[in-house]
Amino acid sequence: MSLTADGTPDFSLFDADGKNRGRYALQANGAPALCLFDATARPRELLALGADGTAAVLLLDAAGKPRGSFGVGANGNPALTLLDGAGKTRGEFELQGEGTPCLSLLDTAGKHRGAFILGANGQPDLRLIDAAGNHRGSFVLQADGNPAMCLFDTAAQNRGQFALQANGVPAFYLNDAAGKNRGQFLLGEDGAPSLALFDAAGKNRGQFELQANGRPAIFLCDAAGKPRGRFLLLPDGTPSVSLADATGKVRTMYEMTDTDAPSLAMADAAGQTRSIFSLGTTGEPSWSLYDQHGKVIKLFP
């Protein structure tokens, strides 16, 4: 133990070869520091107090460059920092705020590009960040415990989400720049896929789905979300197109008959068929007109 030229105490340990392997001394700011040296007397680890009284452990490489540190910040939270050969921070593991753990990855410019944190509700969240610092993607567990992947634009608006719903059914959502849902692709509880399109008001305007027995169907809806047009396959496999009024009543139907001939039927507001135009088995056209009770009043030819 000795005193330096300025009178500060200095305690050093030497090995059998006379090489300094450890030093305990006061720094220029008056705070104590402990330095450990390797067999070639190169400093490899430093334990010191900062001017503000916070403690830190600094790990150095063979060239004496800092490569990692572990300390307690001014807020009292611990933090582990990893540095590259140029001394730039590339990774951080710390407690934020009231003790929320966060793992951060940084690029060569020192910008955060990825983070793994716990949200306010304790759910894990893996985040991807672009070069401008914008949050662009997350892989999270939702409040119900189901996983979800979210895609964000440069304004941090959620534009796409792939998630499991509460019943475990997968779903994919597309949102516009205002964050409104405009499209959904999901599986029903029966496992059948369904694609739905929404307008800016959130109304379902179109849907493509598989119905019972795997039959495909397309629905077109008005601004109130009511189905007005339908294109599907009937149970026997024949195609059918129907048009409905604002009350939901089918007014026009175009489909293939059981003889594979086309048929066009029109109904009144009460849903009663009033006209049928079709082709017969030999291809001859026919047109039938009905009264409001369903009785034929005229046939052509």
pLDDT tens, position by position, for the chain (301 residues)? 565 566 667 899 999 999 999 999 888 777 889 999 999 999 999 999 877 778 899 999 999 999 999 998 878 899 999 999 999 999 999 998 888 999 999 999 999 999 999 977 889 999 999 999 999 999 999 888 899 999 999 999 999 999 998 888 899 999 999 999 999 999 987 889 999 999 999 999 999 999 878 899 999 999 999 999 999 998 888 899 999 999 999 999 999 877 778 999 999 999 999 999 998 777 889 999 999 988 988 777 7
Neighbour-count burial for 148-166, b at 16+ CB within 10 Å, e otherwise: bebbbeeeeeebebebbee
* Residue 44 to residues 36, 55, 239, Cα–Cα distance (Å): 6, 17, 78
What's residue 258's pLDDT? 73
* Residue 247 to residues 97, 112, 204, 273, Cα–Cα distance (Å): 56, 55, 16, 16
| Number of helices (H), then strands (E), in the chain | 0, 27
Residue carrying structure tokens 């139907």: 253
What's residue 4's pLDDT? 59
Residue carrying structure tokens 């047009």: 229
What's residue 3's pLDDT? 58
Interval 258-290: pLDDT, tens: 777 899 999 999 999 999 999 877 788 999 999
CB 46 within 8 A of CB 33: yes
What's residue 257's pLDDT? 77
In single-letter form, the type of residue at position 12 comes to: S
pTM of the model: 0.76
